[in-house]
Amino acid sequence: MLRKALLAAAASERIRGLLTTAPAANAVVSRYVAGESIQDALAVARALRSDGLLVSLDYLGEDTTDAQRAAATAAQYVHLLGRLADEGLSEGGAVEVSVKPTAIGLRLSPAGPGVPGERIAAEHLERIAVAAREAGTTVTVDAEDHLTTDATLRIATGLRARRRSDGSGSVGSVVQAALRRTEADVRELAAPGVRVRLCKGAYAEPLAEAFTARHDIDRSFARCLRTLMAGPGYPMIATHDPRLIAITRSLGLGRSPDSFEYQMLYGVRPDEQRRLAESGARVRVYVPYGGDWYRYLVRRLAERPANLALFLRSLGSSS
Ligand code: FDA
């Protein structure tokens, strides 16, 4: 309930103004976000690589209704991938990128007959995927609220089908255990070579579309996990939940350690990230950067009310 209320309250311009201008915001933001610039992102990526961790960089932003902004976001990714290649960071997929479809146009109203947001987002994503392939790395298409799921999966599947002919298969999909449809999606996605990130889901969804009780989401996660780990694809298990990590570890005993990976967010359980990597597992850290951090931060605070309490207390003491 609290999580849902927080996610809903986050839409208020007043709350946004308060949170983004409060001096105390900086400390909380810097726990979860690498910084505003590409240099900040590269510095964090380098540091994580030197600890033996893999990285996925996310340029913050979402829900754009401005076509130029969508194009600029795609251009930022292409530039970033060039920088990663120059520094040798993207080699072998060590540092890849994660992209939100609504940041590159999925929610744009039609720009003209026959040019809906889905096509614009698909074209931008293709540009990013080509840059990723040239940099020797991959792209993962983030999952957003359930209204975007069909289009998001279609865009990624379409790109994979086109790119299969050149053997790259570099576009990965994300599924959310909270959505009722996800078990069926996972059965389709568990195909040879397909990279699938499984996460719980960070959006407030209607009951008709999603499980809302924690134990129902966890059970759905475990079922999807079993399907992915038994399949011929490349599972990317994105959770900080110790129980689900333990299940992944035991299912992983039947696979080679390089045929799947764990994924965690920058700033969340960093010791566990290193511990898993030291045990020989592939571990990737999702690292967001950029100035548009507000909604990303709210989702992180909503996941852990203790963080929110800390944040509100520091706001109180700074005013
Ligand atoms: P859960 O929320 O139950 O947390 C388990 C434990 O982890 C907590 O008890 C706490 O110790 C720690 N923890 C979790 N969140 C924390 C936080 N914010 N701060 C501090 N500690 C925290 N979602 C989505 O809808 N679309 C997407 O594309 C992605 N992509 C994505 C990539 C990666 C790499 C990760 C790890 C996660 C996502 N997510 C996502 C977010 C995901 O859906 C989910 O909201 C969070 O991962 C939290 O869920 P957990 O599985 O960690 O479990």
Atom 9 (ligand 1): residue with closest C-alpha?
241
Please give the Cα distance from 99 to 204 (Å, whole number). Answer: 20
Average pLDDT estimate for 223-248? 98
Overall size of the chain counted in residues: 319
Residue of 44, 46, 94, 103 whose CA lies nearest to 76 = 103
The residue-averaged pLDDT of 15-22 equals 73
Confidence at residue 119, expressed as pLDDT on a 0 to 100 scale: 92
Over residues 203-222, the pLDDT tens digits come to 999 999 999 999 999 999 99
* Whether the predicted pLDDT of 251 surpasses 90: yes
The CATH number assigned to the domain with range 34-292 reads 3.20.20.220
Pocket test for ligand 1, best of 199, 263, 284, 285 (most atoms within 8 A of CB): 199
For 166-182, what is the mean pLDDT? 85
Number of the ligand 1 atom closest to the C-alpha atom of 200: 43
Kindly give the distance from the C-alpha atom of residue 158 to the centroid of ligand 1, in angstroms, as a whole number.
28
End-to-end CA distance of the chain: 28
Measured from the Cα of 203, ligand 1's closest atom is 25
Q: Is the pLDDT of residue 149 over 90?
A: yes
List, for residues 254-309, the tens digit of each pLDDT value: 899 999 999 999 999 999 999 999 999 999 999 999 999 988 988 898 888 777 77
Is position 142 annotated as part of the catalytic site? yes
Which of the residues 58, 142, 185, 218 is marked catalytic?
142
Query: Does 160 qualify as catalytic in the annotation?
Result: no
User: In the structure, what pLDDT confidence band is assigned to residue 169 with cuts at 50, 70 and 90?
Assistant: very low
Per-residue pLDDT tens digits for 70-113: 999 999 999 999 999 999 999 999 999 999 999 999 999 755 44
Pocket of ligand 1 (CB under 6 A): 142-143, 174, 176, 199-203, 238-241, 263-265, 268-269, 286, 300, 303-304, 307
- Residue 150 predicted with pLDDT over 80: yes
pLDDT of residue 162: 82
Atom of ligand 1 nearest to the CA of 201: 43
* Catalytic residue (one of 195, 197, 284, 300): 197
Strand ranges inside the chain, DSSP E: 54-59, 95-99, 139-141, 171-176, 195-199, 234-238, 261-265, 283-289
Q: What integer pLDDT is reported at residue 167 of this predicted model?
A: 42
Report the atom number in ligand 1 closest to the C-alpha of 142.
28
